[in-house]
Amino acid sequence: MLDARLQKVSEFIIGEKLLDIGSDHAYLPIEAIRNGAAKQAICGEIVKGPFDSTVNNIRREGMEDSIEARFGSGLEVISPDDAVDTVTICGMGGPLIAEILEDGLHNLGGQPRLVLQANTYTYPIRKVLAESNYRIIDETVVRDGRHFYEIIVAEAGESGYDEKQLVFGPVLLEKKEQAFIEKLERELEHQQNIYNNLKKNSSNNEKINEVANTINALKEVLEQ
């Protein structure tokens, strides 16, 4: 059974073949095969312990014919001949996901759908997508307790996003979902605390102005 975060990710999987990077225990590919979202899957994992767990879980579910585990870094585990339809990269920081895409998109055959779930800072992901001729077709925020997780879904296409869309998400800005608003309110409170501390304890005017600009940008989105 998937948690709310991965359950939402699974809803965006299309096509017959899934590639899941950083698959950990293979929970997402196993569920995708089980519910018919995909017919085949490849799991990529660079850490030995999680890789062994992935292999064991695939075997336990009797899915060796449907799911293949590969040990390696990012998209290095794949080649154009694998012809995957959807790539999922979940549970990492935004900068790391962006780095994986930047380093390895050339290994993919064509431009499969990308479903990217970041734990932090999604700006670099959107920047790489825009530079790689990918267009964001959907975005959402999943709240789990005190944690907020952004999910970005992208397909081949030109974008032309402005800086505000890269920071906050073009689709998120349009949809204004409740979880998105709550996430921004939390971030605003956090930035205001930083600003107050800096004003009391720091003479770094550049940093103070940077935080003030972030606060103003957050307020602008929340007040629209």
Q: What is the pLDDT of residues 17-47, one digit of tens each?
A: 999 999 878 999 999 999 999 999 999 999 9
Q: Hey, what are 28's tokens?
A: 């997402």
Q: Percent of the chain scored above 90 by pLDDT? A: 88
Cβ-in-10-Å burial (0-12, 13-18, 19+) of 191 comes to buried
Residues with Cβ within 8 Å of residue 192, at least 6 apart in sequence: 215
Instruction: Kindly indicate the confidence band of residue 202, based on its pLDDT and cuts at 50, 70 and 90.
Output: confident
pLDDT level of residue 79 (50, 70, 90 thresholds)? very high
Separation CA 194–CA 71 (nearest Å): 41
What integer pLDDT is reported at residue 23 of this predicted model? 84
Q: Residue 145: what pLDDT?
A: 86
E strand or H helix at 223, and its extent?
helix 205-223
User: Distance (Å, rounded) from C-alpha 54 to C-alpha 101?
Assistant: 22
- Structural tokens at position 110: 């064509």
**What DSSP string runs through 89-102?**
EEEEEHHHHHHHHH
| 1 pLDDT above the threshold of 80 | no
Q: How far apart are CA 168 and CA 166, in angstroms?
A: 6
Q: Could you tell me the pTM of the whole model?
A: 0.93
**pLDDT confidence of residue 203:** 81
The residue that leads in pLDDT, 145 or 125, is 125
Strand partners for 17: 40
Q: Which two tokens stand for residue 171?
A: 């689709």
Confidence label for 204 from pLDDT (cuts 50, 70 and 90): confident
Going by pLDDT thresholds of 50, 70 and 90, the confidence category of residue 2 is confident
Q: What is the pLDDT of residue 151?
A: 98
* 37 within 8 A of 66, measured Cβ to Cβ: no
The overall average pLDDT reported for the chain is: 95
- Cα dihedral 58, 72, 101, 28 in deg (nearest 10): 10
Average pLDDT over residues 177-182: 96
Q: 183, 187, 180, 178: which is closest to 216 by C-alpha?
A: 187
Adjacent-strand bridge partners of 155: 135
- Of how many residues is the chain composed? 224
